[in-house]
Amino acid sequence: MARGAPRRAGLHAAMAAAAVLSSFALPTTAQTRQAEDALSALRQRLPQDEVIYFLLPDRFANGDATNDHGGYTADRLKSGFDPADTDFYHGGDLAGVTQQLDYIQGLGATAVWLAPVFKNKPVQSHGGYTGAAHHGYWITDFTAVDPHFGDEAAMRALVEAAHARGMKVYLDIVANHTADVIQYRECPKGRCAYRSRADYPYTRRGGVDGAPINEGFDGRDFSRLTRADYAYTPYVPAGEENAKVPAWLNDPIHYHNRGESTFTGESSLDGDFAGLDDLLTEDPVVIQGMIDIFGGWIDKYGIDGFRIDTARHVNPGFWQAFIPAMIARAEAKGIPNFHIFGEVYDPDPAVTARFTRVDGYPAVLDFPFQKQATDVAAGKVGTDALAKLFDADTIYDKGAETAAILPTFLGNHDMGRVGFFVKQANPNADDAEVLARIKLAHALMMFSRGVPTLYYGDEQGFAGAGGYGNSRQDMWPSRTPVYANETPVGGRQPAYSTDAPLYQAIAEMTRIRAAEPALRRGRQVVRAYGDKPGLFALSRVGEDGSEILALFNTSTAPVAAHVEVEPGSLRWQALRGDCAPESSAPASVAVRVPPLDYLVCKSVP
């Protein structure tokens, strides 16, 4: 008996402990189901339901100072870290993005688009320029997170934290090129001029009169190339033979090796992009390799979409294979609305639309909208510029259906910020006018068709000096003189201030958009425009016939007019501004819009 008592006591203790653990397990299970339900709801959202927030991890938030040098020595030319230089790493990382998700969500963004996070060559010198890979486009290891930004755990933590808040995560990916590793023996001191396919065919070494090579190549099956020295003699410098991952990327046979792109003609597809090694994207090894790489990121992290860099510099056949494979991979992961959009840097919709018709892109970044919306809001052109732009929606594959999922934006890390464009167009304007015009530009983006895409820092009033490097401000107090000395539009606020005038204005717009399905999914009808700054009006008509009328005044004087509306829209509710309570007559409503302002009016039964 004496020996049995302790055993029984131990048994009772174990049972009690199990009961306690069980009591904790129940809410954990419930929480897991709740998280799964939330993730399922998130993935059912259509692309046009999102508001995207685009950021460069290096410039957004530094959550872990131990990775500032990326594990390299502290020499700026080894690690690339120099927070006083616009073109070097400043210390931002994925942990910082995770810590600031509440800030992003408070602005009304529902999806975070990250500039490339893959491992890069930290520092490159080319053509007299030396800089660091803070932007993420000089990739060596396509399978790993760059150590300046964190690691696999940091990436996973960010995605899980975003999903827990009902936010999506989009990755910026690159398939056109890698970091600059391959060199040409003919040009030891600089860039090689582009050599065309006609002058330097794949079947001759060093030009049409050269010795035959790649004799089995028929012009179509690039798997039959055995030599890469048709135009130049490419080689990998000593010590960099295994610089790239996966390993197949280290073989020059998988690259075009034709010298520098001039960004015209065939060189736009086959030339090296500012020295970056241009992949032979016609090669089946490259096609399948990239499918495996980026499909792996979907499988591993449950990413919700891809922005694809340099889309216009890759042959259509590659995209025709790659994009369906990514959509299928996402669907297999349980992501039915995987958003893919390509970068086609051109203001002409005839150019951008081609990539939806020929290359098979579901969507492209709306550079034409960026051009017209910023010019209209800045008062450079009449409001008819937007009407003409929207008329061109029909040329996209599937017309308005595709136009509805084009990410619209006002500026970015390459061209400059909307604040810069407004200031440039209005050099004598005071801060109040510049602020009003920037708000107006955001309203044009937020309430018209497409997926509004905010560029980080615009909400803090950053404007910069435009162009490469000058629009990549640090969100925290910067050590870079050109950033630190800037006075933001609306005045300088503490870092990550939610009281900044533009943060407040954009948050108001996103709340209105989120509350009204017609503003996200409704059919767009342009109602009024002119050949000078002034009134621009459009309706978003829901499937149930409900109508929301958005009115914009791009002039410095008030405007009054009658605007056509749906015949059944007789009574109105103001969602923002002063709207007439009733239509003047069936299909006509009187509007009055203050200078450089906007109204949003909703028809009610």
Catalytic residue among 278, 282, 343, 366: 343
Instruction: Give percent above pLDDT 90 in the chain.
Output: 92
- Inter-residue contact 127 to 191 (CB < 8 Å): yes
Predicted confidence at residue 272, as pLDDT, reads 97
Where does the pLDDT of residue 35 fall: very low under 50, low under 70, confident under 90, or very high at 90 and above? Answer: confident
Rounded Cα distance, 325 and 334, in Å: 14
Alpha helices, H only, 93-180:
94-99, 101-106, 152-164
Instruction: Using pLDDT thresholds of 50, 70 and 90, give the confidence band for residue 30.
Output: confident
pLDDT in the model for residue 11: 36
pLDDT at 2: 35
- Rounded to a whole number, what is the distance in angstroms from the first to the last CA of the chain? 83
- Region 236-261 average pLDDT: 98
User: Helix (H, G, I), strand (E, B), or coil: what is residue 63?
Assistant: coil
How far from the centroid of its chain's Cα atoms is residue 534's Cα? 31
What contacts 254, CB < 8 A, 6 or more positions away?
248, 279, 280, 283, 285, 286, 289
Task: Say if strands 305-308 and 168-173 run parallel, antiparallel, or are unpaired.
Answer: parallel
121: CB partners within 8 A, 6+ apart: 133, 138, 139, 140, 179, 180, 181, 243
Q: Are 495 and 476 in contact (CB under 8 A)?
A: yes
Q: Is the pLDDT of residue 518 over 90?
A: yes
Predicted TM-score of the model (pTM): 0.94
Does 343 participate in catalysis according to the annotation?
A: yes
What is the pLDDT of the chain when averaged over all its residues? 94
- Mean pLDDT, range 522-536, rounded to an integer: 98
Mean pLDDT of all residues in 253-267? 97
State the angle between helix axes of 349-357 and 367-377 in degrees (0 to 180), rounded to the nearest 10.
150
C-alpha to C-alpha distance for 417 and 470, rounded to whole angstroms: 9
309 is catalytic: yes
What does the pLDDT read at residue 8?
A: 36
The pLDDT score that the predictor gives to residue 189 is 77
pLDDT digits (tens, 9 = 90+) for 87-96: 999 999 999 9
Burial of 474 (0-12, 13-18, 19+ CB in 10 A): buried
Q: Which residue has the tokens 């203050």?
A: 594
Three-class SS of residue 5?
A: helix
Q: What is the pLDDT of residue 191?
A: 85
Whether residue 531 has pLDDT greater than 80? yes
Please report where in the chains the tokens 């963004």 appear, as a residue: 109
Average confidence (pLDDT) over 295-308: 98
At 5 the pLDDT is 37
Q: Are 462 and 413 in contact (CB under 8 A)?
A: no
Distance, CA of 142 to CA of 245 (rounded, Å) = 6
Tell me the CA distances in angstroms from 605 to 505, 570, 571, one per residue in order.
29, 8, 7
Nearest to 379, CA basis, from 536, 255, 201, 491: 536
417-475 pLDDT tens trace: 999 999 999 999 999 999 999 999 999 999 999 999 999 999 999 999 988 889 999 99
108 CB-near residues (< 8 Å, 6+ apart):
51, 506, 507, 509, 510, 511, 513, 514
Is the model's pLDDT at 65 over the cut of 90?
A: yes
pLDDT at 584 over 60: yes
Q: Are strands 547-553 and 535-541 parallel, antiparallel or unpaired?
A: antiparallel
Task: Starting at the earlier edge strand, list the strands of the sheet with 523-528.
Answer: 523-528, 535-541, 547-553, 597-604, 571-576
Model confidence at 14: pLDDT above 80: no
Mean pLDDT of 346-374: 98
Q: What was the pLDDT predicted at 27?
A: 58
Dist. CA 2–CA 4, nearest whole Å? 6
Residue 422 to residue 419: CA distance in whole angstroms:
5
Radius of gyration of the chain (CA): 27
Question: Which amino acid, 417?
Answer: R
Catalytic residue among 50, 85, 146, 309: 309
Weakest mean pLDDT among 6-10, 37-41, 223-227, 563-567: 6-10
Instruction: Answer whether residue 6 shows pLDDT above 80.
Output: no
Position 18 pLDDT exceeds 50: no
**Residue 557 token pair:** 């004087």
Banded pLDDT at 26 (limits 50, 70, 90): low
